[in-house]
Structure 1
Amino acid sequence: MKWNWVTFQVNNLERSIQFYTEALKFEVASRFGSDDHQIVMLGKADEPKLELIWEKEKQLQGLGRGVSIGFEMDELDQLVQSLKGQGHSVEGPIAPNPHIRFFFVEDPDGYRIQLVEQKLSK
């Protein structure tokens, strides 16, 4: 079995795309739909994706409540400063041991995004 994607329902697709592509440097892998329903897949080719779904007639409440997703990345300090500079609230960085550090940021719909930097010991 192979994991393919995780889906987030969003209330404002363009705002969500902007957050993920500009703030977190995701790539738009594909985009399709109609005037009433849009799906955007974010991520690199041959890697699991983050799927954003927007439906015109649905303005959902409580999106993101209790949901957290983690992404491994490099250069944690630069990303923290960049997000803060863009006005995003950042929780952390937190270092539970010498080999891992992470922080949290919320996306526009309240999904909690954990960004992790791992340092392998030599």
Structure 2
Amino acid sequence: MHIAHITIHSAKKEESVAFFEKFCGLKIQRSVGNGITFLADSEGATNIEIIPDPEHAADVNNLSIGFAVENVMGYRDQLIKEGLEVSPLVSPNPSVQFFFVKDPNGVQIQFVENK
């Protein structure tokens, strides 16, 4: 068993799709009725469903989605150059480093490097 997808109800659907394409490396896999868009990585292992739903946009207080990267410091610098507001780099132990950015809906997106 595995997670099929993560659904985000979005007040900013187009901006959300663009964010996950540009910064998380996901590509649109399909669009279905009512403007629902599915994005995935090249292997199909990471899947995000974006539902345009301004009235019921995600309650983001306790939600974060983590993406593994190979060079967390380099990727953090790249996102800063892109104009994103990034959190400080966190290293709770010598084998892991991560930081967060917010997607257009305010969802905390974590980029993490496991050494």
Q: Could you state the TM-score of these two structures normalised by the residue count of structure 2? A: 0.86
Q: CA RMSD in A?
A: 1.8
Aligned equivalent of 2:23? 23
Who is 2:74 aligned against? Answer: 78
- Deviation per residue, 1:3-59 (Å, 9 max, x gap): 1111001112111111111122222222222xxx2111121243131111114xx34
Question: Which structure shows the bigger proportion of residues in helix conformation?
Answer: 2
Would you say how many aligned residue pairs link Structure 1 and Structure 2?
114
Residue segments in structure 1 that go unaligned for 5+ positions in a row: none
* SS of residue in 2 equivalent to 1:88: coil
Give 1:105's aligned residue: 101
In 2, distance between residues paired with 1:75 and 1:92?
A: 15
Partner deviation per Cα, 1:48-71 (whole Å, 9 max, x = no partner): 31111114xx34466422211212
Measure the CA separation in 1 of the matches of 2:15 and 2:76.
20
Cα distance in 2 between the residues matched to 1:61 and 1:38: 14
When residues 16 and 99 of structure 1 are mapped into structure 2, their CA distance, relative to the original with a 3 A threshold, is same
Extract unaligned runs of 5+ from structure 2.
none
- TM-score, L = length of structure 1: 0.82
Task: Determine what percentage of the aligned residue pairs are the same residue.
Answer: 28
- Paired residue for 1:94? 90
Quote the offset at 1:86 in angstroms: 1.8
Matched residue, 1:3: 3
Q: Show structure 1 runs of 4+ deviating over 3 A.
A: 58-63
* CA gap 1:4/1:23 in 2 versus in 1, 3 angstroms: same
